[in-house]
């Protein structure tokens, strides 16, 4: 078994030795760089992440001798476990992926590295994008500073982070008008995450239009359901008959996640009765 084979398998089918394989690659600075990059990407998966893999990712992230791409990817791989630990806490053993001690170490290390001026810009951006998934007091100021930057890359990072940090409604609404497609996309997602009612008409128009770029349209469908879940099923009726099966599937999945499909079924039953 090698890391490229792991990459081709769904995580729930990985063998027991997968964790050890990834840890060995993360530690082997003389290994093939492409294999190590894949290992760093896979190491953050929910099915395998643990204290040891977090430690290995942090070691890479802190090491200025490692490549910028590898360090940036290590930061991103820490995002999902940060979010899971922040949401689930540490009381139920079935919900614990990493220990509270390691969780706090992650948060402290990410903040320290973000504030270090000699850390490459890409790595600092990825650190901010990962760390906001477990929000802390320093994040709003960092996001505001990034959004005020003259550099589009920092502004993109800021808008992405606004999907996780409260208090940026006006900035999100403004970013919906941004010409940068990536900033626009993440503004749509953020509007849905925070249920921004002022974005409803615009986001709905994106979801309904067959002219909307496909990835953006999928994000808009999720956002429509997020903003007004009680109205979404009726608002998206025309989209349910779209020729694109993935678009239709996205509508029903979003409605199911919000509970709107159950409400719709209840309405239909009442009408039939």
What's the rounded mean pLDDT across residues 87-114?
Answer: 94
Question: Which of the pair, 241 or 258, is modelled with greater confidence?
Answer: 241
CATH 1.25.10.10 residue ranges of the chain are 151-273
What's the rounded mean pLDDT across residues 213-218?
Answer: 96
Among candidates 246, 191, 253, which has minimal Cα distance to 223?
191
CA 99/CA 105 separation, integer angstroms:
10
Q: DSSP letter string over 126-140?
A: HHHHHHTTS--TTHH
pLDDT at 263 over 90: no
| Per-residue pLDDT, 268 | 40
At 17-59, the pLDDT tens digits run 999 999 999 999 999 999 999 999 999 999 999 999 999 999 9
Q: Which of 55-59, 176-180, 213-217, 257-261 has the lowest mean pLDDT?
A: 257-261
Contact between residue 223 and residue 254 where contact means Cβ atoms under 8 Å apart: no
| Per-residue pLDDT, 193 | 96
CA 52/CA 102 separation, integer angstroms:
9
Secondary structure element (H or E) that encloses residue 11, with its range: none
pTM: 0.91
What's the rounded mean pLDDT across residues 159-187?
Answer: 97
CA 138/CA 114 separation, integer angstroms:
11
Q: DSSP letter string over 168-235?
A: -HHHHHHHTT-SSHHHHHHHHHHHHHTT-GGGHHHHHHHHH-TTS-HHHHHHHHHHHHHH-HHHHHHH
At 112-169, the pLDDT tens digits run 999 999 999 999 999 999 999 999 999 999 999 999 999 999 999 999 999 999 999 9
CATH class as words, domain 151-273: mainly alpha
pLDDT at 111 over 80: yes
User: What's the mean pLDDT when you consider all of the chain?
Assistant: 93
């Amino acid at each position: 078994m090698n890391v490229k084979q792991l990459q081709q398998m769904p995580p729930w089918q990985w063998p027991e030795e997968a964790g050890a394989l990834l840890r060995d690659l993360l530690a082997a600075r003389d290994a093939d760089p492409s294999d190590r990059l894949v290992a760093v990407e896979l190491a953050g998966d929910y099915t395998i992440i643990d204290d040891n893999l977090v430690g290995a990712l942090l070691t890479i992230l802190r090491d200025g001798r490692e490549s910028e791409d590898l360090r940036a990817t290590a930061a991103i791989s820490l995002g999902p476990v940060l979010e899971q630990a922040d949401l689930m806490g540490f009381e139920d053993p079935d919900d614990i992926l990493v220990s509270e001690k390691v969780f706090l170490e992650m948060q402290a290390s990410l903040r320290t590295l973000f504030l270090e001026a000699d850390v490459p810009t890409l790595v600092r951006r990825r650190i901010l994008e990962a760390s906001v998934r477990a929000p802390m007091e320093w994040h709003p100021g960092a996001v505001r500073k990034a959004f005020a930057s003259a550099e589009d890359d920092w502004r993109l990072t800021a808008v992405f982070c606004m999907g996780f940090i409260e208090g940026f409604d006006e900035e999100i609404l403004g970013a919906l008008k941004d010409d940068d497609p990536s900033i626009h996309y993440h503004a749509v997602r953020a509007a849905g995450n925070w249920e921004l009612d002022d974005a409803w008409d615009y986001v709905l128009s994106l979801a309904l239009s067959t002219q909307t770029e496909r990835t953006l349209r999928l994000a808009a469908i999720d956002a429509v359901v997020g903003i007004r879940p009680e109205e979404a099923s009726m608002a998206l009726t025309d989209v349910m008959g779209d020729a694109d099966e993935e678009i239709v599937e996205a509508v029903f999945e979003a409605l199911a996640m919000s509970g709107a499909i159950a409400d719709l079924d209840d309405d239909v039953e009442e009408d039939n009765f």
